[in-house]
Structure 1
Amino acid sequence: MRAGIAVTGLVLLGAGVAALCVGLGLFGPGPAARPVLDPAAGRYADTTGWFWPVVAGAGEAVMLAGLVWVTRQSRDGVRRLRPALDGPTRMLARAAGGDLLRDARVLPGVEDVKLRLTGTKARPRLVMTVLCDEDAPLGEVYRGLELGPTARYRAAMGMDDLTVVVRFRLVYREARLS
């Protein structure tokens, strides 16, 4: 989704730069010598007093919608990185997270675990990144996490409906030739 938005933005930026270059005459005299509006439309815009204010208002409405959208996206991005939790809850999460890390690292095939508590106060979310050996039984590791460490973490936090996202990262060893 964000890649599509970035590509669209780059295309629009390129179109704007090209239009600016044509308008400044950098590509020689051509379309820049002609008026933007058809002469009949230009006469209509000149005779009506409301045409240009409506065009400006529509442009401002589009700009405001874009600004609101960008603000919401950046706010959601900040919430993903830093949860909106109070101090005591953070301390409790840190303590319970230490136990969760210790219990998760002893599961078979698990090399390392990283935790990040994200989301909002109303909808917190725990993101676990689990580094596993390439031939680790991921189904068993997931079941072991769900039945043991994450259940105890939810109980310690008092959040029975806490969403836990588990991301597995496999560590591949180089093949050795005999």
Structure 2
Amino acid sequence: MRIAIALTGAVLFACGGAALTAGLGVFGPPAEGPLLDPALARFAGGSGWFLPAAAGVAEILALAGQLWLVVQARYLVHQWWPDLDAQTRARARDAGDALIRDARDLPGVHDVRARLTGTADRPRLLLKVACAGDTLIGEVYGELGAGPVERYRRAVGMPDLPVVIRFRPALPRPGKAQEPQPEPA
């Protein structure tokens, strides 16, 4: 859905830029006649309701677009800065450090990132776990839920805190040479 919206926005932006440059005369002198087709101009001039209705529809579309932007901005703000009191944020930060440390000790786990997101009435914990290619994800998931995540929930004081765990493969960092693997005997 976001790709379709981005493509639509890019096409509309390009059309607006082309219309602006054409109106400024970049592609040649601007047309001397009316911008609208003469039949449409006659219809708009003869109907007293057409231009106010078109302006009303354009205004409603603009308002809907602004409302959508506000909702998206609110989602982004709550994702990065949860709407929680300072005491809960401090407990979450301390518990998050312990959670990351304990999760990195699990077999096959290379990197863990934890973030408490959401609103005060709907918080959630987002975990991003990087694992080696041969790691059994089900085992890591079970050990995370039974150990570090449960301790995090108790430390923060939210026993029903929803947790989203996203697994990804651990990729070698660019610029670092990999150690040669010993050949099997």
TM-score normalised over the length of structure 2: 0.81
Question: How many angstroms does 1:144 deviate by?
Answer: 0.3
Name the CA shift for 1:95/1:44 in 2 (closer, same or farther; >3 Å). Answer: same
RMSD of aligned Cα (Å): 2.4
Counterpart CA distance in 1 for 2:21 and 2:128 is 48
Match of residue 175 from structure 2: none
Gaps of 5+ in 2: 173-177
Q: Any unmatched runs of 5+ in structure 1? A: none
Deviation readout 1:60-111 (Å, 9 max, x if unpaired)? 1111111111111111111111111111111221222233223222211223
Distance in 2 between residues matched to 1:172 and 1:56, nearest whole Å: 53
- Residues 96 and 115, structure 2, Cα contact 8 Å, conserved in 1: no
Q: TM-score, normalised by structure 1?
A: 0.84
Closer/same/farther in 2, CA of residues 72 and 172 from structure 1, 3 Å limit: closer
Going from structure 1 to structure 2, the CA distance change for 1:40 and 1:136 (only over 3 Å counts) comes to closer
Cα shift at 1:177: 7.3
| Matching of residues 75-114 of structure 1 within 5 Å | 75-114=74-113
What percent of counterpart residues are identical?
A: 52
Query: Is 1:4 the counterpart of 2:4 in the alignment?
Result: yes
Gap change, CA 1:176 and 1:95, over 3 Å in 2: closer
Give, in angstroms, the shift of residue 172 of structure 1: 4.7
Q: Cα–Cα, structure 1 residues 38 and 105, in superposed 2: closer, same or farther, change >3 Å?
A: closer
Residue in 2 that maps onto 1:140? 139
Corresponding residue number in structure 2 for 1:46:
45
